[in-house]
Amino acid sequence: MYKKYRRAQRRNSAALLPLSLSTSTKKEEKKLKCLSWTNVALNVLVPLMIGAVTVIITVRQQETDDRRQQQERELDDRRYNLEQEQADELHNQDVFKNYITDISNTIFKQSQQQTTTFTDDRARSAYIRSQTLVALDDLDWKRKTRLFLFLYENKLLPRISYKNGIDDSNQTFNLLGANLANITLKSTPYSTLQFHQLSLPSVDLTRASFIRSIFSHGFTFHLSTMADVKFTGSEFLCCEKVSEELQEILFFAEAILTRADFQKTSFCDIRFFKTDLAYANFSNAQFKGNVTFSNTNLTLTDFRDLDLYPYAFIHIVNTDMTGSSILDNANLQAAFHNGQMQFGNVILPNGTWKIDTRNLITNGDAEICCPPGPNPGVRHWFPFPVGKDDATTSLNENFSKTRFGKCHLNFTLTGDDIEVSQVVDVMNFSYIFASRQARYELLIDANCIDGILSATISFGTELGEPISKSEFPIHGTNTSQWTTRTFVGEVPVDTDYLTLILGRMHHTGLCYVDNIQLRIFRQT
C-alpha cells in the first residue's frame, strides 16, 4: 500500500511541476519584453536628447556668431561713417577755403596766379554767382552759413534796386536758385545782423533761421521755398511806399512759408501775397503800419497774443483762415470791430464765408457818361462787330429814357450784327472758388422784339487759357416789354478771369438791355 501511495504522490508531483514552471516562464517572458521595450525607448531617447542638446548648442552658437557679426558690422559701419565724415569734413574745408580765396582774389585783388580775366563787372558778377552756387550745393549747413556771412560782411549779398521803379537786382550779382537750406544766422548782443534791401528771390531757404535779425528798406523772398523757416525775434522795419508793380514781388510774394516761425517778430508795412502760411506761428508778434495778407493760405495759423500797434491796419483779402486763431485774439477782435482789420472774400476760421457780393459788372446800366458823346459805344464795354469785315457797330447809337435810368445798351440792328463784352478779374475769389461751392448769378433786364439775344460767360486762367463757357439764349417777344432773366451756374476752380459776352444777330427789331448784374455767392 505504501508503495502505491508513493507512486501516486510522485505522479501528482510530476503533474504539478510543469504547471508551476510554465507560470514562472511566462512571468519571465513578460519581464524580458518589458525590459526590451525599455531598452528600445532608452536607445531612442538618448539620441533624441543628444540631438536636442546639439540643436540648442548650435542655435546658441549661431546666435552668438550673429551677434558678433552684427557688432562687427556696426563697428565697420561706425568706422566707415567716421571715415566718411572725416573725408566730408576735409572736402568741405577745401571747398570753403578755395571759394573764399577765389572770390577774395576776384573782388579785392588780382592774384598773379589767377588765370581768370573779366571783360567787365557783369562778367565778374556772373563768375561769382556760378562759383557761389556750386559751393553752396557742395557744402554742409555750417559752412553754408559761414559762406553767407562772408557775403554779408563783405556787402556782396544781392540787393533790390529801385532804379526806374523796377527791381533790377537780377542785372547784377544774384543768388537765384541758391541752396541756402538750413543756414542759421543769429544776432548777438555784440553783433546785430541787419539786411538792407535784401534780395533773395527763388532760393531754397528750407529750415533756415534768421534769429533776431533786422530787415530794412524793403526785401524780397519772391518765389522762394521757406518751409519751416525761423524769423524768431526779428524786425521788419517800415518801408517807404513803392510802386504797385514792385508790390507784386516785394516782401513775401508767392513764397512757401508753411510752419514758419514768426514768434516775437515785429512787422511794419509788410505784405504777404500768394503765400502759403499754413501752420505758421505769429504768437507774440507785433503788427505796425499796414499789414496785408492777399491770396494767402492761413489755415491753422497761430495768432495768439499778437500785439497790434495804434494806427496799424490789417487787410485780409482772398484768404483761407480755416482753423486759425486770428479771431481768438482779443486785440484782433477789437481791431475788427473798430475797423482796423478788414476782410474781403475770405473763409473764416469756423468755415463760414465773408465775400464781396457787389455787382462785378461795371456800367451794366449804361449810366456812366450818359447821355453819350458823339462817339458810339458804352464805357467799359468793348464792341466787336461780326459778319462783314467793314461793318461798324450800332451799339448805343440810340438812347432812350426808361424807368431803368437815362440810358441803356441798345442792341437794335441797323445792318450789322452786334457783340459786346466785358472782362472781369476774379482772382480775388480764388480761395472761394477752390472750395467748389462758389456759384455765379447773372441778371439781365431785356426788352427785345423777336430774335435772340445771346449771353455767354467764358472762364479762363491768368495765362489766358480757356476753361469752359456757359451760353444762355434770351428770346425776344412779340411786343415791347421788359423782362428780367436770371442765370445761375458753377464757377470752375481755376478761374482767374471771366468774360461776359452779349450778342444779337440777324434780327432788326428793337432790343434794349439794362441793369446787367453778375455776383458770386455760396451754394447752400
Report, as an integer, the average pLDDT of 373-400: 52
**pLDDT tens digits for range 229-250:** 999 999 999 877 666 666 666 7
Give the whole-angstrom CA distance, residue 214 versus residue 287: 15
Q: Is-contact 476 468, C-beta < 8 A?
A: no
Which stretch, 245-249, 281-285, 339-343, 510-514, has highest mean pLDDT? 281-285
Query: Strands 483-490 and 409-410, how do they pair?
Result: unpaired
Sequence-distant (6+) residues with CB within 8 A of 230 are 208, 209, 210, 211, 260, 261
Q: For all residues of the chain together, what is the average pLDDT?
A: 83
The pLDDT of residue 374 is 58
Q: What is the DSSP string of 71-98?
A: HHHHHHHHHHHHHHHHHHHHHHHHHHHH
Q: Is-contact 404 445, C-beta < 8 A?
A: yes
- The alpha-helical segments, DSSP class H, found in 139-256 are 141-153, 244-247
CB atoms within 10 A of CB 47: 10
- The alpha-helical segments, DSSP class H, found in 157-301 are 244-247
Q: Is the pLDDT at 417 greater than 90, yes or no?
A: no
**pLDDT tens digits for range 450-486:** 888 899 999 999 988 999 999 999 998 888 888 999 9
| Sequence-ordered strand ranges (E) for 295-378 | 307-308, 313-320, 341-347, 353-354
Of 23-27, 155-159, 171-175, 390-394, the poorest mean pLDDT is in 390-394
Q: Is the pLDDT at 423 greater than 50, yes or no?
A: yes
Torsion-angle region of residue 460: left (phi > 0), alpha (psi -120 to 50) or beta? beta
What type of residue is 63?
Answer: E
Q: Is the pLDDT at 397 greater than 50, yes or no?
A: no
More confident residue, 388 or 478: 478
Residue 162 — pLDDT band, cuts 50, 70, 90?
low
**pLDDT tens digits for range 28-77:** 666 666 666 666 666 666 677 777 777 788 878 888 878 888 887 888 78
**pLDDT tens digits for range 178-214:** 999 999 999 999 999 999 989 999 999 999 999 999 9
The pLDDT of residue 401 is 46
Where in the chain are the domains? Answer: 124-354, 382-522
More confident residue, 16 or 55: 55
Long-range contacts of 371-380 (CB under 8 A, 24+ apart): 371/399, 371/406, 371/407, 372/396, 372/399, 372/407, 378/409, 378/420, 380/422
382-522 CATH: 2.60.120.260
What type of residue is 266?
Answer: S
More confident residue, 507 or 498: 498
Q: Give percent above pLDDT 90 in the chain.
A: 47
Report, as an integer, the average pLDDT of 274-283: 96
Q: Is the pLDDT at 306 greater than 70, yes or no?
A: yes
Give the torsion through C-alpha atoms of 391, 395, 398, 401, to 10 deg: 170
The pLDDT of residue 272 is 95
Sequence-distant (6+) residues with CB within 8 A of 357 are 519, 520, 521
The pLDDT of residue 387 is 44
The pLDDT of residue 325 is 94
More confident residue, 72 or 361: 361
By residue count, the chain amounts to 524
351 is written with which cell numbers? Answer: 468755415
Q: Give percent above pLDDT 70 in the chain.
A: 79
Q: Is the pLDDT at 16 greater than 60, yes or no?
A: no
**282 to each of 195, 223, 285, 442, how far by Cα in Å?**
21, 21, 5, 41
53-80: burial string, b at 16+ Cβ within 10 Å, e else = eeeeeeeeeeeeeeeeeeeeeeeeeeee
Residue 438 — pLDDT band, cuts 50, 70, 90?
very high
Report, as an integer, the average pLDDT of 313-329: 94
Closest listed residue to residue 264, CA positions, set 227, 221, 210, 318: 210
